[in-house]
Structure 1
Amino acid sequence: MEFKVNSIEETTNIGFQLGKLLNSSDIICLTGDLGTGKTHITKGIAKGLNIDDTITSPTFNIVNEYTSGRLKLNHFDVYRVSDPDEIYAIGFDDYIFSDAVSIIEWANYIEEILPKEYLHIHISKDLAKGENYRKITLTDYGNRYSYIKELKL
């Protein structure tokens, strides 16, 4: 599934619509260059989960936990992770195999330890089409994410 957007608000709205559909234990893997909107998607997902907290990228913490919504949210940023052992040391499996929704920014950095089933969201930009133009591609790995076909904007 692919979306083309031209604003931060449209990017965040895709996350919001997705967040309303997410289920317990869902895993969302985000990839894309710096500044493409991974955290904006995450903010939208959190809003769709009824989380009112301020969402920030956990670049130095590796993971932020949010517990105030319809479902708990674990938000990972593995940009600075240089070795999968580093992510295991924080209890990665305990987080992603919990009942919380887990979002992993820069998931391509830890591809070898991702579970078999997850929803991959890749965001790319094309400055020739505008500063805020983004192509957002959703790919489901496993049967549990077939509900993304219900995503309407």
Structure 2
Amino acid sequence: MKKEYNLSQIDEIAEAILAESEHKIIAFHGEMGVGKTTLIKVLAKQLGVNELTSSPTFSIVNEYHAPNDILYHFDCYRIENEEEAYDIGIEDYLYSDAWCFIEWPEHIENLLPEDITKVTIDKINEKLRSIHLKN
């Protein structure tokens, strides 16, 4: 999937990601401020998460509960090496069969399973984004 969208279309983009993703682990690539966290909040809502969601910038991972599933939202920006990821139990999360939405996955690239969905968001201008999903 490759599309351009603006913020008013974010619900539609989230629906497309959930429909087209072949995996429950989704790695979100994109520069700071491109809208990764905003998109993940919409995805969580569409999965049925009723809790207030926020970026796990300092906690590294937030856990949310949907009616029939669990969602883990990772922000790996502050992870400096693989040992830090092991310290938070990253393998337990990744192999739990729960949804795992990972921001800054390049910080833990070697630890990710092969079967993941990669989403890349690029900023075209202040209002327009490009998204590319690859299974």
* Distance change (3 Å), C-alpha of 1:22 and 1:42: same
Q: CA deviation at 1:18?
A: 3.1
Q: Partner of 1:13 in structure 2? A: 12
Q: CA deviation at 1:69?
A: 3.2
Q: Amino acid of the residue matched to residue 2 of structure 1? A: K
Q: Any conservation in 2 of the 1:27–1:103 contact (CA below 8 Å)?
A: yes
What is the alpha-carbon distance in structure 2 between the residues aligned to residue 18 and residue 50 of structure 1? Answer: 15
Q: Give every structure 1 segment of 4 or more consecutive aligned residues whose post-TM-superposition deviation is greater than 6 Å.
A: 20-23
Q: Amino acid of the residue matched to residue 109 of structure 1? A: H
What is the alpha-carbon distance in structure 2 between the residues aligned to residue 61 and residue 38 of structure 1? Answer: 17
What's the TM-score once normalised by structure 2's chain length? 0.91
Say which of 32, 35, 49 aligns to 2:33.
Answer: 35
Extract unaligned runs of 5+ from structure 1. 141-153
Q: CA deviation at 1:12?
A: 4.2
Q: Partner of 1:132 in structure 2? A: 127
What is the alpha-carbon distance in structure 1 between the residues aligned to residue 106 and residue 90 of structure 2? Answer: 15
Q: CA deviation at 1:121?
A: 0.4
What's the TM-score once normalised by structure 1's chain length? 0.81
Q: CA deviation at 1:44?
A: 1.5
Deviations 1:48-88 (A, max 9, x none): 21111111110000000001333210000000100011011
Q: Any conservation in 1 of the 2:25–2:94 contact (CA below 8 Å)?
A: yes
Extract unaligned runs of 5+ from structure 2. none
Q: Amino acid of the residue matched to residue 64 of structure 1? A: N
Q: Partner of 1:146 in structure 2? A: none
* Distance change (3 Å), C-alpha of 1:32 and 1:82: same
Q: Any conservation in 1 of the 2:47–2:66 contact (CA below 8 Å)?
A: no
What is the alpha-carbon distance in structure 1 between the residues aligned to residue 9 and residue 82 of structure 2? Answer: 33
Q: Amino acid of the residue matched to residue 12 of structure 2? A: N
Percent identity of the aligned residues?
38
More contact order relative to length (CA 8 Å, sep ≥ 6): 2
Map 1:26-105 onto structure 2 (within 5 A).
Answer: 26-105=24-103
SS in 2 for 1:115: coil
What is the alpha-carbon distance in structure 1 between the residues aligned to residue 20 and residue 64 of structure 2? Answer: 18
1:110 is the counterpart of 2:108: yes
What is the alpha-carbon distance in structure 2 between the residues aligned to residue 21 and residue 137 of structure 1? Answer: 11
- Count residues with an aligned counterpart: 135
